[in-house]
A and B are shown apart, each in its own frame.
Chain A
């Protein structure tokens, strides 16, 4: 099959970024050094990622203990979820669909509608302390958060190992740094689509190969690069009076209705779709772009989108709830 220009561009990006992926994977898997004759010692970076993983799954990051990051970001859904949106601890309705976290460390923008949030550390404050809507309800609760975490001996040791320069101080900044460190380990590059993009044509079905070509022609301008997003904000349909999108953050009318292009990694397991979760199936999501594909083309596109599912990422025990003993003795 001859790839179109956009697909060739994707392949080029693959070559450039593969080194970054390899580096991140090494960091996620490694980080433990063995002192001669002694126990394994975590590097500060590895301790920070391990700490972040535990925090990611800990309900103590919400005011009533009921919600953790993983409440909405479930691994089997690519760290997204199957609901249109998720109410917070006060049952205030969620406003936007939860986005997946595969390769989130590569993202240059991190929310559906705010281009100023460009780091994982800054993003973490949105669910933790945000009030529009309230999600985890921890605004003004920094001291309570430190108290809860400080009562856990494993956290005390992990903070000490992760932040030696701060004498293991437990605070909100350390929490967000650790959450960011863990999320940067969430590397996905083992989907059939990845193997296809690296040159293994047999990794996907003939139908999916047709879908890949269609995708390159019609979708890859925005769903660009290895993670199928340009990280930019685009107009998607008429402005929604209940959600201005980027316009809400900028105050500019021209930004109303602009939303960030979502990554399509693991898209087949992260329904529903779009910023409002208003498209329950991949077919609905494809049609919502109003691009008039034939039934055969739509099926091919969906086959290609399904090939973006990285099963090993969804099942990787290093990303799962940490059942094992504390990483630091």
Chain B
């Protein structure tokens, strides 16, 4: 069956330490470690474009596969911070940089933290509907392009990263589905780009995250006829340690089933879920995962991922 076979990643080497900003933002080590969960945020180079990050993630994917990706029928880039002004679309620019064939379908999806889950549904149904056999879902949303370095609510959280997910029909592929989606456009002002600067109402985003996600997760489990105990791991978008801890508590989940990995790079928007997923694809102890992404829009989406 067609599903995820491998994921490549690119996390820029640049880092900004949150410990170095303690005096500026009047925070302490405990707050950084135990509440934010982000010790340093990753930062791309100033001249590095979103498409460049995608290309590097693809290179990592090939090194993990130990082969060239080969023919790609479909390439989707999930980003809200595209190359330049967004024309042409970043996926087309990536297509050019990778030298892909002309019959490859390329398009961008303008979603943030919910983008990986939405993206999995979009690319897998697009491929199935059009008889395509190999696709790449890329995530690259460098918020460093729009972050205000004086804004405590964002500069300590968001980091830059890119991922490349290969979907094809292969034994052991992870098949996504079912899915659940959600949108609350009237609350979109909680996280927006205002004239080139990121603005976030932290309390509104926190309240949304911990009240919208648990009912969707429970509804998805009900759709699938599963108890939480049947899920090996719950992968939540890495908004902050505080948000993930509160979701874990509200859903009554054992913490060992809810991994986190944001300490070294921060909240990487749509890349956060594939970064969590990457090293777990080959763990033979795992066969059923639940993914949930939530944020800008406000938008949220959850899905199951089952190893065939």
The answer to whether A and B assemble together is no
Binding site for A on B (CB under 8 A): none
Binding site for B on A (CB under 8 A): none
